[in-house]
Amino acid sequence: MCRNFINKVFYIKFFVFILFSASACSGDNQEIAGLLYSDNKPVSVGISDGRITSVKHIGKLPADIHDIFIAPGFIDNQVNGFAGVSFTFGGGELTPEGVKKATIELWKTGVTTYLPTLTTNSHELLLKNFTLLAGVIDDPDLLGSIPGFHLEGPYISPVDGFRGAHPKIYVRQPDWTEFLELNKAAGNRIIQVTIAPEVEGALDFISKCRSAGIIVALGHHNGDAQSITAAIDQGAAIATHLGNGCANMINRHLNPLWPQLSDDRLMISIIGDGFHLNPEEIRVFYKVKGPEKTIITSDVTSYTALPPGKFVNAEGDSLELTREGMVRYPAQNVLAGSALPLKKGIANVMKVTGCTVEEAVNMATRNPAKLYGWSDRGIIGPGKRADLVLFKIVDNEIVIMRTIVSGKVVYDRNTIIK
């Protein structure tokens, strides 16, 4: 009874909060109130025509609502799929309706910007799916949530362990002509490529990508210090999900981790879901790179937001989605991907590192926006896109209360959005 009473009190309070900012649900001019994530002080954020018009500190929040944060909408740079939709394989044929479904479900988790990520597969399938994505990316219904795409592979290490779950049959050496064909199919919207620096032709490929303004990431590789340094010299800017896409048995001195951690020019992304990295790994990576050069990503798959159960992937392998959100191969009891949204990683990184709300949120908003040169999002300020998320922190978990994309309320915890 005590818990039910507390829940009722909470929802009554939040209903009052909704009334205060009800203009957010209709009309062009809106006013949103809450605690600014960066200083924990009450603010009122004005919105008009999809843009933030003002950010003003106020005396106090209405109706004693004192624990709802306002932050920039979360940015996820590695989304392989969501809610039964896969951008490469495993979730059936990709359709425009599937892209919209995945986007809507991501909004519910506070993600307002994301990169559909296509992983190692046949040239024909990649060509087909990039073509479809290019045809839907500018659909008004998506509200600009997809600014581009991430190609993870197929130019990665073919070695077991380092290639992870990428099908070995499709792993191949970098091919600039092939990539140009893929990028053309994608409407020239591939903005990040993850590559192994040690494979033949990688350095030349990295240089051409950077000349074309494409972010190069190092991932699923067994590069030594020399090849990693050379890749960074050519323009590689970030390590994809550091600590994963790595073999279980590595040399304690000569391995891909130390060179990537030690070079201050390289940012890192980490999967913070609590399964892919142990707490001590996250703490070490965070201490080395700090909140300025760390990006929290999800690496979510099509199994995210589905009920727990057993599945069979496109290769015929048996998978299991546990109640805790782990996707694993039961036979080997090893990870087969991620099924927890970005908000879980943000909360977990905050928990295990002791970083502030501001630092944790920045690693999932400001930092990726800076990496990709998106000056219109990732921060809260006049003139920026009104991509906002309102959330509470309850028992070390982020509870999304409302998501706003380009000034439009696309998710409200207590209201059905049509």
Give per-residue pLDDT as tens, 126-145.
Answer: 999 999 999 999 999 999 99
Q: Find out whether 231 and 223 touch, Cβ atoms under 8 Å.
A: yes
Tell me the average pLDDT across 72-77.
98
In this structure, are 325 and 340 located in the same domain? yes
How far is Cα 349 from Cα 232, in angstroms, rounded to an integer?
Answer: 26
How far is Cα 207 from Cα 220, in angstroms, rounded to an integer?
Answer: 19
The answer to whether residue 50 sits within a structural domain is yes
How high is the pLDDT of residue 328? 79
Residue 337 has pLDDT above 90, yes or no: no
The answer to whether residue 318 sits within a structural domain is yes
In this structure, are 30 and 170 located in the same domain? no
Name which of 202, 205, 254, 247 is nearest 225 in CA terms.
254
In this structure, are 143 and 174 located in the same domain? yes
In this structure, are 18 and 121 located in the same domain? no
Tell me the average pLDDT across 19-29.
48
How high is the pLDDT of residue 22? 40
Q: Find out whether 303 and 339 touch, Cβ atoms under 8 Å.
A: yes
SS3 243: coil
How high is the pLDDT of residue 414? 86
The answer to whether residue 152 sits within a structural domain is yes
CATH number at residue 47: 2.30.40.10
Q: Is 101 exposed, middle or buried (0-12, 13-18, 19+ CB in 10 A)?
A: middle
Q: Find out whether 193 and 151 touch, Cβ atoms under 8 Å.
A: yes
How high is the pLDDT of residue 54? 97
Q: Find out whether 346 and 354 touch, Cβ atoms under 8 Å.
A: no
How high is the pLDDT of residue 165? 85
How high is the pLDDT of residue 13? 43
Name which of 162, 168, 160 is nearest 196 in CA terms.
162
SS3 213: coil
Tell me the average pLDDT across 255-281.
97
Looking at the structure of the chain, the number of domains it has is 2
The answer to whether residue 106 sits within a structural domain is yes
Residue 62 has pLDDT above 80, yes or no: no
| Domain carrying residue 199 | 74-372
Looking at this protein, which amino acid is placed at residue 381?
A: G
In this structure, are 88 and 196 located in the same domain? yes
In this structure, are 82 and 62 located in the same domain? no
How high is the pLDDT of residue 14? 43
How far is Cα 207 from Cα 16, in angstroms, rounded to an integer?
Answer: 55
The pLDDT tens digits for 270-314 are 999 999 999 999 999 999 999 999 999 999 999 888 888 888 876
Q: Would you place residue 333 in the very low, low, confident or very high pLDDT band (cuts 50, 70, 90)? A: low
List, as own/partner pairs, every contact residues 156-161 make where C-beta atoms lie below 8 angstroms and the sequence separation is at least 24, other chains included: 156/120, 156/194, 156/195, 156/196, 156/199, 156/219, 156/220, 156/221, 156/245, 157/196, 157/198, 157/199, 157/220, 157/221, 157/222, 159/222, 159/247, 160/247, 161/246, 161/247, 161/248, 161/249
How far is Cα 125 from Cα 356, in angstroms, rounded to an integer?
Answer: 42
How high is the pLDDT of residue 200? 97
Name which of 153, 86, 83 is nearest 123 in CA terms.
153
Question: What is the SS3 assignment for 285-349?
Answer: HHHHHCCCCEEEECCECCCCCCCCEEEECCCCCEEEECCCCEEEECCCCEEEEECCCHHHHHHHH
Q: Would you place residue 317 in the very low, low, confident or very high pLDDT band (cuts 50, 70, 90)? A: confident
Q: Would you place residue 373 in the very low, low, confident or very high pLDDT band (cuts 50, 70, 90)? A: very high
Residue 25 has pLDDT above 70, yes or no: no
Helix axes 123-136, 96-107, angle to 10 degrees: 70
Q: Would you place residue 211 in the very low, low, confident or very high pLDDT band (cuts 50, 70, 90)? A: very high
The answer to whether residue 209 sits within a structural domain is yes
In this structure, are 216 and 249 located in the same domain? yes
In this structure, are 208 and 66 located in the same domain? no
Q: Would you place residue 91 in the very low, low, confident or very high pLDDT band (cuts 50, 70, 90)? A: low
Residue 343 has pLDDT above 80, yes or no: yes
In this structure, are 67 and 78 located in the same domain? no
Q: How far is CA 130 from the centre of its chain?
A: 19
Tell me the average pLDDT across 90-111.
92
Q: Would you place residue 363 in the very low, low, confident or very high pLDDT band (cuts 50, 70, 90)? A: very high
The answer to whether residue 418 sits within a structural domain is no
> Per the structure block, which two tokens stand in for 5?
């009473």
In this structure, are 241 and 366 located in the same domain? yes
How far is Cα 254 from Cα 275, in angstroms, rounded to an integer?
Answer: 25
The answer to whether residue 275 sits within a structural domain is yes
In this structure, are 63 and 79 located in the same domain? no
Q: Find out whether 338 and 119 touch, Cβ atoms under 8 Å.
A: no
How high is the pLDDT of residue 20? 40
CATH number at residue 181: 3.20.20.140
Looking at this protein, which amino acid is placed at residue 128?
A: K
The answer to whether residue 363 sits within a structural domain is yes
In this structure, are 190 and 129 located in the same domain? yes
Residues written for the chain:
418
